[in-house]
């Protein structure tokens, strides 16, 4: 009896890894096992977006469209999504990820996609509002109490103020922020480019951490890096509305309003999904979707809806990329010409 039990125990021990691996495999394969009673494969929309879009799309827009589509056609639609820095999304699209639609932080990324022949040139301009789905101005986030006394971009140039800034190589937000900083400098000094360059240089001398995307920068700031962060207003309003914002929003006197461009990657859309992809594209400009964007802190392309969010801050001198001749010109002259070649070179970064 004793011997038998020992033998049994030995058997169990020998079988333990096999049992464990078997359970693990079953768990892994479970959703793909062809069990009876499982619903058929749904239609899919593959959506890529820049970093801060995660919440509004996953919690707001996707469920709203799924409901609407089910009501209209009785079919289930599944969203597959990925969110990272706008430049990262652009590079992934060039490398061939199977995205149907991508919402980019700046039109420049769309232009570069056209250059790489991922999408036809200017194709997004045929969409409503020239492809712009929503907007948001650039603001400064400081730590609770604002002990550094930051009131405007110029205050960020003071010695001892540490700044978290996303990296313009992969972050669309960083490109917007650079034009915001340069633009604020010139516009508050009678349009002198030299004043813009000086403000940019002063701010960048204080950058203590660079992040791959606006969202990654926010995470760095929350993990304790720096005294201030330059980012999208929306990124902060969403948490402000839920009472979860750690820090204070500072509205600069002059700042830029970003415009986020949608591109449809036609070559990735198969005949099976075309109808649903196009319906979703149009849905983004519907009043329902625009209201959701406003609720999550984006400023709608439909100005009339913007009164519904009480948290939108007032900005005295709000400018746009068109004031600097559009992204092709601004990238060449401001981001590459001034920021990279003059400011960074001088800081020896």
Partner 1 sequence: MNPPVSVTTRRLHSPVFPVSMLVLVLLPLLLLPLAAVFIFAFRGGAVAFLAALKAPDAQFALRFSIVMAFATAAVNAVIGTFAAYVLSKYSFRGKRPLNIVVNLPVAIPTVVVGTSLLLLWGPIGLLGRLLEPLGLQPMFTPAGVLLAHLFVTFPYMLGAVKPLLDELETTYEEAAYTIGASRWQTFWHVILPALRGGIFSGTLLTFAHSLGEFGATVMVSGNLRLRTQTAPLYIFAQFEAGNIAGANAVAAVLAVLSFVIFFFLLRYAVRPTRAS
Q: Phi/psi at 97 (nearest 5 deg)?
A: -65, 150
Among 216, 262, 294, 335, binds partner 1 (CB under 8 A): 216
Is 16 a residue that touches partner 1 (CB under 8 A)?
A: yes
Residue 71: alpha-carbon gap to chain centroid: 29
Is 30 a residue that touches partner 1 (CB under 8 A)?
A: yes
Is 244 a residue that touches partner 1 (CB under 8 A)?
A: no
Q: In terms of CB distance, is 45 or 335 closer to partner 1?
A: 45
Contacts with 265 (C-beta within 8 Å, 6 or more apart), sequence order: 93, 99, 100, 101, 102, 118, 119
Is 212 a residue that touches partner 1 (CB under 8 A)?
A: yes
User: Whole-number minimum distance, CB 255 to partner 1, in Å?
Assistant: 24
CA atoms within 13 A on the CB side of 55: 16
| Cβ proximity of 180 and 203 under 8 Å | no
Cβ burial of 247 (10 Å; 0-12, 13-18, 19+) is: buried
Is 19 a residue that touches partner 1 (CB under 8 A)?
A: no
Joined tokens for residue 192: 């002198």
Is 105 a residue that touches partner 1 (CB under 8 A)?
A: no
d(CA 16, CA 64): 47
Q: Phi/psi at 86 (nearest 5 deg)?
A: -55, -40
Among 29, 33, 35, 71, binds partner 1 (CB under 8 A): 29
Q: In terms of CB distance, is 1 or 29 closer to partner 1?
A: 29
Number of residues this chain uses to bind partner 1 (CB under 8 A): 34
User: Whole-number minimum distance, CB 109 to partner 1, in Å?
Assistant: 17
84 by DSSP, 3-state: which?
strand
Is 218 a residue that touches partner 1 (CB under 8 A)?
A: yes
User: Whole-number minimum distance, CB 158 to partner 1, in Å?
Assistant: 28
* Residues facing residue 211 across a β-bridge: 166
| Cβ proximity of 186 and 195 under 8 Å | yes
Among 12, 20, 342, 346, binds partner 1 (CB under 8 A): 20
Find the length of the chain: 349
Instruction: Please tell me what DSSP assigns to residue 311.
Output: T
Is 325 a residue that touches partner 1 (CB under 8 A)?
A: no
User: Whole-number minimum distance, CB 12 to partner 1, in Å?
Assistant: 13
Contacts with 128 (C-beta within 8 Å, 6 or more apart), sequence order: 285, 301
Is 9 a residue that touches partner 1 (CB under 8 A)?
A: no
User: What would you report as the CA-atom Rg of the chain, rounded to the nearest whole angstrom?
Assistant: 24
Is 34 a residue that touches partner 1 (CB under 8 A)?
A: no
User: Whole-number minimum distance, CB 156 to partner 1, in Å?
Assistant: 23
> Could you tell me which stretch among 27-35, 165-173, 181-189, 334-342 binds partner 1 (CB under 8 A)?
27-35
252 by DSSP, 3-state: which?
coil
Is 347 a residue that touches partner 1 (CB under 8 A)?
A: no
User: Whole-number minimum distance, CB 90 to partner 1, in Å?
Assistant: 13
Binding mask 160-199 for partner 1 (x = CB under 8 A): ----------------------------------------
**DSSP calls for 266-278:** GGG--TTTHHHHH
Q: In terms of CB distance, is 80 or 345 closer to partner 1?
A: 80
In the chain, which residue ranges form alpha helices assigned H by DSSP? 2-29, 54-55, 62-73, 86-95, 107-115, 172-187, 193-204, 214-222, 233-241, 274-283, 287-295, 326-330, 345-347
Is 304 a residue that touches partner 1 (CB under 8 A)?
A: no
Among 8, 9, 12, 24, binds partner 1 (CB under 8 A): 24
Is 222 a residue that touches partner 1 (CB under 8 A)?
A: yes
d(CA 39, CA 28): 19
Is 46 a residue that touches partner 1 (CB under 8 A)?
A: yes
- Which residues lie near partner 1 (CB under 8 A)? 14, 16-17, 20-21, 24-25, 27-31, 46, 51, 54, 78, 80-84, 92, 94-98, 212-213, 215-216, 218-219, 222
């Amino acid at each position: 009896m004793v011997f038998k039990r020992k033998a049994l125990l030995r058997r169990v021990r020998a079988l333990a890894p096999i049992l464990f691996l078997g359970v693990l495999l079953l768990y892994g394969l479970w959703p793909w096992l062809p069990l009876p009673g499982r619903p058929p494969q749904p239609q899919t929309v593959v959506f890529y977006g820049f970093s801060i879009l995660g919440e509004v799309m996953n919690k707001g827009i996707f469920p709203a469209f799924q409901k609407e589509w089910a009501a209209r056609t009785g079919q289930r639609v599944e969203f597959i999504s990925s969110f990272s820095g706008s430049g990262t999304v652009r590079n992934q699209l060039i490398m061939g990820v199977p995205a149907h639609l991508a919402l980019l932080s700046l039109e420049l990324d769309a232009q570069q996609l056209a250059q790489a022949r991922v999408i036809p040139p200017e194709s997004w301009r045929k969409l409503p509002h020239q492809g712009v789905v929503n907007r948001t101005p650039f603001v400064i986030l400081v730590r609770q109490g604002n002990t550094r006394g930051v009131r405007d971009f110029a205050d960020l140039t003071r010695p001892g103020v540490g700044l978290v800034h996303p990296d313009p190589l992969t972050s669309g937000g960083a490109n917007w922020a650079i034009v915001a900083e340069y633009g604020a400098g010139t516009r508050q000094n009678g349009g002198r480019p030299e004043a813009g360059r000086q403000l940019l240089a002063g701010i960048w001398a204080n950058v203590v951490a660079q992040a791959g995307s606006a969202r990654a920068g926010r995470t760095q700031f929350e993990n304790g890096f720096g005294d201030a962060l330059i980012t999208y207003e929306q990124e902060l309003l969403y948490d402000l509305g839920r009472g979860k914002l750690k820090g204070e929003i500072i509205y600069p006197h002059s700042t830029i309003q970003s415009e986020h461009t949608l591109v449809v990657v036609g070559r990735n859309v198969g005949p099976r999904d075309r109808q649903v992809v196009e319906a979703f594209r149009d849905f983004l400009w519907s009043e329902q979707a625009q209201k959701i964007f406003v609720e999550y802190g984006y400023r709608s392309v439909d100005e009339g809806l913007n009164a519904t969010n009480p948290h939108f801050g007032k900005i005295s001198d709000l400018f746009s990329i068109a004031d600097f001749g559009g992204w092709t010109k601004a990238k060449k002259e401001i981001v590459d010409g001034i920021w990279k070649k003059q400011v960074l070179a001088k800081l020896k970064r």
